[in-house]
């Protein structure tokens, strides 16, 4: 079985984002598990707020098309999503909304979200580690986009002490759980390659 290709990104582009730290930790864990990793930033794919009139006038932005093409080249995706008001951030929703507008001849509807597997994680300052936001993101991805999302989600609480000096997760149990989740992601993505 060939090494699967996995995209990793955070749903935040803020400088010093704690969810970007989780994305880095996940990318490292994925590499250890044998995946080929493309760690990206949504900052490199700027998109206007979704507007149907804008789409009718100007079409779908190149950044959304480029993301869809990138997804086509990968079998799996790890998303590290902040929790905003018990949900997920508008940046992530807007990105996925634009990507969902792209239809490609010969592919199923919502092509960026089909034929690949997703894993989700979050970091927050609270004890629940962004879990409430992850459940909302999972619902949108599964019901709205038809994505295959792994049932295990990495929720890292107490952000101020969550990462060691080397950027790895400080809590051994949480670090081990991240390893379990990324191993599942690699296994399922490997079957899709």
Instruction: List pLDDT tens digits, range 44-61.
Output: 999 999 999 999 999 999
Topology, domain 5-192: Rossmann fold (3.40.50)
pTM above 0.95?
Answer: yes
Other Cβ atoms closer than 10 A to 39: 18
Instruction: Say what the pLDDT of residue 55 is.
Output: 96
Tell me the pLDDT tens digit for each residue of 75-110: 999 999 999 999 999 999 999 999 999 988 888 888
Average pLDDT (176-192) is: 97
Q: Which residue has the tokens 């699967």?
A: 4
Average pLDDT (39-45) is: 98
Query: So where are the chain's domains?
Result: 5-192
**Predicted confidence (pLDDT) at residue 193 exceeds the cutoff of 90:** no
């Amino acid at each position: 079985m060939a090494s699967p290709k996995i995209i990793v990104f955070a749903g935040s582009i803020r400088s010093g984002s704690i969810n970007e730290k989780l994305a880095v930790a996940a990318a490292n864990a994925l590499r250890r598990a044998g995946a080929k990793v493309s760690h990206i930033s949504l900052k490199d794919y700027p998109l206007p707020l979704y507007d149907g009139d804008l789409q009718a006038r100007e079409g779908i932005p190149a950044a959304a098309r480029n993301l869809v093409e990138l997804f086509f080249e990968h079998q799996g995706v790890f998303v590290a999503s902040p929790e905003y008001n018990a949900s997920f951030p508008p940046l992530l929703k807007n990105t996925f909304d634009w990507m969902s507008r792209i239809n490609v001849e010969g592919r199923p509807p919502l092509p960026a979200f089909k034929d690949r597997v997703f894993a989700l994680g979050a970091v927050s300052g609270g004890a629940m580690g962004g879990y409430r936001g992850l459940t909302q993101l999972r619902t949108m991805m599964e019901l709205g986009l038809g994505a295959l999302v792994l049932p295990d989600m990495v929720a890292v609480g107490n952000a101020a002490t969550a990462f060691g000096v080397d950027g790895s997760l400080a809590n051994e149990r949480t670090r081990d759980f991240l390893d379990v989740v990324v191993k599942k992601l690699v296994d399922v993505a490997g079957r899709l390659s």
